[in-house]
């Protein structure tokens, strides 16, 4: 592919992803804040809901935050009794965080609102185009994850969980429908 075309695609991707992120951040703020938690707190609840009890170090890595910022986010969730901290007796530096029942209920409410809005968004996309969009987003998410593993490699080595290798990404892309080039 000529470099000029790739540059134009990169510029278009930049515009589209920035616009999409701004719109989703607005959606998140509107739907999350009404549940009494910040967006960062909601993302933390979601991460804990997906992965279960997690160490503070791992949680910070998964959230792409430094430990002090993650501690402040978790502090607010502990105060609201949405999460609990568990200290390891043999090593007081090791701290685990888990959802409480109240935290699970708040998370379920937020997820229900978000899924409702996503269904409303998907209804605006022609039925035949929805799966192509989802496939394209999956490819994009995997490519971003792969890039994260290679960019600034010395700084990030071991900090970002490996989700997919470059080889696996290439194999998956070969299996995708060719009409995804429009996404």
Domain boundaries, the chain: 1-124, 127-183
Instruction: Determine contact, residues 54/96, Cβ cutoff 8 Å.
Output: yes
Work out the average pLDDT over 119-128. 94
* Distance separating the N- and C-terminal Cα atoms of the chain: 16
Residue 100 dihedral angles phi and psi, to the nearest 5°: -95, 175
Q: Which CATH architecture has domain 1-124?
A: Orthogonal Bundle (1.10)
Give 164's pLDDT tier (boundaries 50, 70, 90).
very low
Give 27's pLDDT tier (boundaries 50, 70, 90).
confident
**Pairing outcome for strands 91-99 and 83-88:** antiparallel
Return the ∠ at Cα 105 (arms to 102 and 108), rounded to 5°.
Answer: 150
How many Cα atoms occupy the beta-carbon half-sphere of 131 within 13 Å? 5
Instruction: Determine contact, residues 163/145, Cβ cutoff 8 Å.
Output: yes
How far is the C-alpha of 160 from the C-alpha of 162, rounded, in Å? 6
Task: Give me the percent of the chain exceeding a pLDDT of 70.
Answer: 81
124 exposure class (CB count in 10 Å sphere: 0-12, 13-18, 19+)? exposed
| Nearest residue to 48 via CA among 116, 87, 110, 96 | 96
Instruction: Supply the pLDDT for residue 150.
Output: 83
Instruction: Supply the pLDDT for residue 173.
Output: 52
Q: What angle, rounded to 10 degrees, do the helices at 101-122 and 3-33 form?
A: 130
Q: What is the pLDDT of residues 59-102, one digit of tens each?
A: 999 998 999 999 999 999 999 999 999 998 888 889 999 999 99
Instruction: Supply the pLDDT for residue 41.
Output: 93
Instruction: Determine contact, residues 97/83, Cβ cutoff 8 Å.
Output: yes
83 exposure class (CB count in 10 Å sphere: 0-12, 13-18, 19+)? buried
Instruction: Supply the pLDDT for residue 82.
Output: 97
């Amino acid at each position: 592919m000529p470099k000029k075309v790739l540059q134009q695609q990169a510029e278009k991707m930049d515009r589209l992803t920035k616009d999409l992120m701004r719109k989703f951040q607005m959606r998140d703020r509107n739907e999350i804040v009404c549940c009494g938690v910040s967006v960062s707190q909601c993302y933390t609840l979601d991460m804990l809901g997906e992965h279960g009890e997690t160490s503070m170090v791992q949680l910070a890595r998964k959230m792409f935050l430094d430990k002090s910022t993650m501690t402040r986010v978790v502090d607010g969730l502990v105060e609201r009794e949405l999460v609990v901290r568990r200290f390891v007796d043999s090593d007081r530096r090791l701290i685990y965080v888990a959802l409480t029942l109240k935290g699970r209920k708040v998370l379920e409410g937020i997820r229900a609102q978000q899924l409702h809005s996503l269904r409303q968004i998907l209804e605006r996309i022609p039925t035949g185009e929805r799966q192509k969009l989802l496939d394209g987003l999956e490819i994009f998410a995997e490519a971003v994850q792969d890039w994260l593993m290679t960019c600034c490699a010395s700084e990030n080595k071991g900090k970002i969980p490996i989700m997919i290798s470059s080889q696996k990404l290439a194999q998956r892309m070969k299996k995708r429908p060719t009409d995804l080039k429009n996404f």
